[in-house]
Structure 1
Amino acid sequence: MGYATTIGAPKKEFAVKSAEVLLPVIAGASTFVVADTETTGFGAYDDILEIGAVKINAETRKIVQSFSSYCRMKNHLKVPPKITELTGIRTEDVADAPNIETVLPAFKQFVGDTPIVFHNAAFDWRMLGIKYKLLGTHLSNEVICTMKLFKCLHPEAGASNLEYITRYYGTPIVGHHRAVVDCKWTAAAFCKMREEVLALGIQPAMNMGSLDTASALTPEELTQQCRVQRISGWKKAKQKRIYCTTNLADFFYDMNGHVWNVSRKKTDRDLDVEALARCVLDKLGISLTDFLEKYAPPA
């Protein structure tokens, strides 16, 4: 989204490295994913409304693949008027969109282990990190912030917002604050900045893969390791959930959204929350329908 304000102080797990540290990655990689999110606000409770991304070949400055999806809201009933005014996204635009539990795995598959570029990465990276935690997984890509990179390359510059940077490089932005639009302008500016990095003679990093190689627990490992400890129904206002406590994670079935989410992960390995749920149902010897009937909170 490129907001000038971030969601408070980013937690260590969502921290973005300095531009100086990432210069070898910028010099060594030729393919990058430039991504952006549009959201209902700045907090952990806010919804992601849209994720957009373009995969670019920085050598040719060509977009080789695109990703764009609205996301249905789960914490808000309406898109805040200020967000509609800023982005043009209306409540009806996202009403029938895929849920975030569908969009996030698709985005993760799109980015693979490619370095991801954001403008004001602290905002987008933390927001995505918070939502991926609900699925028991995370993105482990190198993250490059064009705002930090521009400040590193041009400390004398008076500003570092996306409008200023695109004007600086001679391509003033048009149609700001829609995810894919912002991605394209950010990508153009990043390619210019990468040329400046290469002109510095930075030694390229040879390994541009993911930061870690921890894979998700397989269904076989889940069967062997998972122990069901407690199951209970929960209700608050219109929200209805069934919480499952296991040794690997505390997770719940959202009866309104018809999705599984992780509330607390207890293992260093990534989890496939759907596979974890199937494992628990198998251990209980019941179907999802029977599970809902047995453990649903009282009406």
Structure 2
Amino acid sequence: MGSTTIGTKKEFAIKQAADMLPVVSNNKVFIVADTETTGFGAYDDILEIGAVKIDAETRKVIQSFSTYCRMKNHKKIPQKIVDLTGITTADVADAPNIETVLTAFRQFIGDTPLVFHNAAFDWRMLGTKYKLLGVKLTNEVICTMKLFKHLHPEAEASNLEFITTYYGTPIVGHHRAVVDCKWTAAAFCKMREEVLDMDLQPVLSMDDLVAKPREPAVSLEELERTCVLLRVNGWKKGRQKRIYCTTNLADFCYDLNEHVWNVVRNKTSRDLDINALAGFVLNRLGLSLLDFQTKYAPPA
């Protein structure tokens, strides 16, 4: 388990429960999501992402998302995680890489409000990994742990086992992402009924409750016009080999082991398009990807 924290509390802050109530009461479609990981640090890998899109009024699952993720930073899953989740190193060995999974998950969730149990962890873990793509998720986030504590301050606990038992459907198969999602979804629907029964007075206008469209990511055309390529250099440490590109808008690299592009630092307030960044540097250098690797790869 890495000792580095996954982002700052401020960077990935979760609303207080009272501020979640209008989002809960004024939407009917939600995505309940969960991650399984190798640990709690920025260096730790996401092993699995599961999610269900639900209609909270009918309590029906509209669509599901579930996939393993190939590890990027670890060779083996720690035994305590294997014991907890049942996920083995062999299970994720041939899974899609995290960049592919994150792209697909972002398409799945769109701008729909997200529900997590203990959202502070999952939201920070996902946010930290999305930095690899140069993007930031802007969905509304609801934490069922915070929401349950707000609705039932007298309750002796707020973990998922306690909450599902409280609402009459004790969880089975805990610590697998999509399984946790389904039980969290069932509990959340019960909490939403309790919120609706509170007959809240509107505190936000409908304009406030409609998801704001994302500002388009920086395009290749914009990069060609405004981006300056400052430095390209190969880097190697142990088995890790990368080619780093430094520009005025972002620092990014090509991972020669995984054969993927990653954003190291976004210097703008806009989302980046990793494919546009790759296209920009290759166009600016006048090289194919193969020639780029040959020219700038660190010595063996």
Q: Please give the TM-score of this superposition, normalised by the length of structure 1.
A: 0.95
Partner of 1:59: 57
CA–CA distance in structure 2, aligned partners of residues 147 and 273 of structure 1 = 35
Kept in 1, the 8 Å contact 2:119–2:141? The answer is yes
1:9-67 per-residue CA deviation (whole Å, 9 max, x = no partner) reads 84311111111011011000000000000000010100000000000000000000000
| 3-state SS in 1 of match to 2:33 | strand
The match for 2:80 among 79, 82, 90 is 82
Code of the aligned partner of 1:194 = R
Match of 2:160 in 1: 162
Contact kept, 8 Å, 1:140 with 1:210, in 2: the verdict is: no
Task: Indicate if the aligned counterparts of 1:141 and 1:211 stay in contact, CA closer than 8 A.
Answer: no
Q: Deviations over 1:201-230 (max 9, x none)?
A: 124552444466322012211221111000
The one-letter amino acid paired with 1:256 is N
**CA contact 1:119–1:186 (8 Å) conserved in 2:** yes
Offset at 1:237? 0.8
What pairs with 1:135-154 in structure 2 (closer than 5 Å)? 135-154=133-152
Contact 1:119 1:146 in 2 (8 A): yes
- Find the counterpart in structure 2 of residue 225 from structure 1: 226
Paired position in structure 1 for 2:176 = 178
| Residue of structure 2 aligned with 1:132, choices 130, 133, 137 | 130
RMSD: 1.3
1:114 aligns with 2:115: no
Question: How far apart, CA to CA, are the structure 2 residues paired with 1:241 and 1:253?
Answer: 5
Equivalent residues, number = 293
User: Where in structure 1 are there 5+ consecutive unaligned residues?
Assistant: 1-6
Deviations 1:70-108 (A, max 9, x none): 000010001111111110100000000000000001000
Contiguous gaps of at least 5 residues in structure 2? none
Q: Distance in 2 between matches of 1:284 and 1:9?
A: 34
Q: Percent identity?
A: 72
Distance 1:65 1:40, change over 3 A: same
Map of 2:278 onto structure 1 = 277
Cα distance in 1, alignment partners of residues 275 and 55 from structure 2? 34
The offset of 1:242, in angstroms, is 0.5
Residue 252 (structure 2) pairs with residue 254 (structure 1): no
Measure the CA separation in 1 of the matches of 2:88 and 2:272.
33
Structure 1 residue 215 corresponds to structure 2 residue 236: no
How far apart, CA to CA, are the structure 2 residues paired with 1:71 and 1:9? 20
Q: Which residue of 1 aligns with 2:69?
A: 71
Cα pair distance change 1:38/1:247, threshold 3 Å: same
Q: Which has the higher contact order (CA 8 A, sep 6+)?
A: 1
